[in-house]
Amino acid sequence: ILNVEQSPQSLHVQEGDSTNFTCSFPSSNFYALHWYRWETAKSPEALFVMTLNGDEKKKGRISATLNTKEGYSYLYIKGSQPEDSATYLCAFNSNSGYALNFGKGTSLLVTP
């Protein structure tokens, strides 16, 4: 079992605020780091997969960075909107296995 830690556990911001979350993971035997977005009553949907140290990915107002040497990734949301309200999951897989190890997620609530 590979520990993946996410912080904060939950976050409540106002519409228009920018925010960020952290995911920490084991820095050894790194293969890939994933971010998923999970809306209530729906299935998790992949946002980003990052494999290289220093990777930065962007999709609209959401971006992510990766530091494999120190074992962390940040997810940023610029100008949060109510439709961004969801749980954001981080998952890690090592080069020694097929399984994804998920963090417990950061629950984001954006209010108008």
Partner 1 sequence: NAGVTQTPKFRVLKTGQSMTLLCAQDMNHEYMYWYRQDPGMGLRLIHYSVGEGTTAKGEVPDGYNVSRLKKQNFLLGLESAAPSQTSVYFCASSWNLYEQYFGPGTRLTVT
Which residue ranges make up the site for partner 1 (CB under 8 A)? 1, 4, 31-32, 34, 42-46, 49, 89, 91, 93, 98-105
Q: How far is the CB of 2 from partner 1 (least distance, A)?
A: 10
Query: Measured from the CB of residue 102, what is the shortest distance to partner 1 in angstroms?
Result: 4
What is the C-alpha separation between 111 and 5, in angstroms, rounded?
A: 26
Q: Is the peptide bond before 8 cis (omega within 30 degrees of 0)?
A: yes
Residue closer to partner 1 (CB basis): 17 or 100: 100
Nearer Cβ to partner 1, position 84 or 88?
88
- Which residues in 71-86 are b (16+ Cβ under 10 Å) and which e? bbbebebeebeeebbb
DSSP code at position 51: -
Least Å from the CB of residue 87 to partner 1: 10
